[in-house]
Amino acid sequence: MKNIQLIGIVGAGQMGRGIAQVAAQTGYEVILFDAFKNSLDFGHSFIKTQLDKGAEKGKWSSDDAGKAYARIKPTLELTDLKNCDLVIEAATEKRDLKFDIFKKLDEIVKPEGILASNTSSISITEIAANTKRADKIAGMHFMNPVPVMKLVEGIRGLETSDETFNTVAAVSEKMGKTFVRAQDYPGFAVNRILMPMINEAVYALYEGVASAKDIDTAMKLGTNQPMGPLELADFIGLDTCLAIMNVLHDGLADTKYRPCPLLRQYVAAGRFGRKNGKGFHTYDK
């Protein structure tokens, strides 16, 4: 297993900043990259706010919060990741963008470095095929909000080596997460199961089985979920849910994965969920 000390994070958005925070709090040195200054500054200061809030609530000491924050070095230069032992990519969920990032990382990062992706649906095997180190590529799928959710879904591409997979498992566990192992098939394990449930909830709404509020209440109180499926879809983003349903539908070629027309319609109308204030429910922006 490889000794990991320096972790690079690509993307300071919702997922990247959460991963950076947890990595720094568990003792890793972190370089946080984003291509856009606004996103980098916002992500970096968001981490400070979260660390300070946690200290105020007594979750950790303000000394530990300060030390964790000091371990995170923000950068706008991808080349600053060259000495990283592990890079976790958490950029926007677009195939071409991710392929391009991995091509660049493959050129930049030292040859023994492991490159992981936080993708929720893009094939790890295909990402790896864009590099010359397919044995050192793996999926590390964190859940949102990263500091709260206890899971990392590990995805093994066709060429991922045992050493790489065992290393990302050990890093996830050191970060306080439980690591589950999934093979590289559409949706992996979590979204293969979660997204059809959400899609079915949208069908129930579409067919008038119950109101959005009642569907969520039924599933929250009836099956002990922290959020109902439509509220969770809004939290994840309806555009993301639709993109993942399309991956399942295309990749598994089974009509049971067809995205609900109402989900398509909401996305076409620009109702993306919490992030822009309107999905199955409405939110203060």
Binding site for ligand CAA (CB under 6 A): 50, 57, 59, 120, 143-145, 147-149, 191, 226-227, 232, 236
120 is catalytic: yes
> Among residues 118 and 131, whose Cβ is nearest to ligand CAA?
118
Secondary structure of residue 121 in the 3-state scheme: coil
Check 89, 153, 199, 231 and give the catalytic one. 153
Helices marked H in the chain: 14-25, 37-56, 62-70, 95-108, 124-128, 162-174, 190-206, 212-223, 229-236, 238-252, 261-268
Dist. CA 184–CA 22, nearest whole Å: 25
Nearest distance, CB of residue 245 and ligand CAA, angstroms: 11
User: How would you classify the pairing of strands 137-142 and 114-117?
Assistant: parallel
Give yes or no: 281 in active site: no
Cα–Cα distance, 222 to 201 (Å, whole number): 14
172 belongs to the catalytic site: no
Q: Which lies closer to ligand CAA via its Cβ, residue 81 or residue 195? A: 195
From the list 118, 120, 121, 172, the catalytic residue is: 120
Angle between helices 62-70 and 37-56 (to 10 degrees): 160
Q: CB nearer to ligand CAA: give 6 or 88.
A: 88
What's the min distance (Å) between Cβ of 83 and ligand CAA?
Answer: 29
Q: Which residue, 4 or 198, is less far from ligand CAA as judged by CB?
A: 198
Distance of CA 24 to the CA centre of its chain: 17
Within its chain, how far is the Cα of 61 from the centroid? 27
Question: Residue 194 CB, nearest distance to ligand CAA (Å)?
Answer: 6
Cβ proximity to ligand CAA, 84 vs 127, nearer residue: 127
| φ, ψ dihedrals at 139, nearest 5° | -100, 135
Q: How far is the CB of 57 from ligand CAA (least distance, A)?
A: 5
The residue at minimum Cβ distance from ligand CAA is 120
**Hey, what are 16's tokens?**
């990247």
- Which of 121, 141, 172, 231 is the catalytic position? 141
For helices 229-236 and 238-252, the axis angle rounded to 10 degrees is 100
- Is 141 a catalytic site residue? yes
Catalytic residues: 120, 141, 153, 191
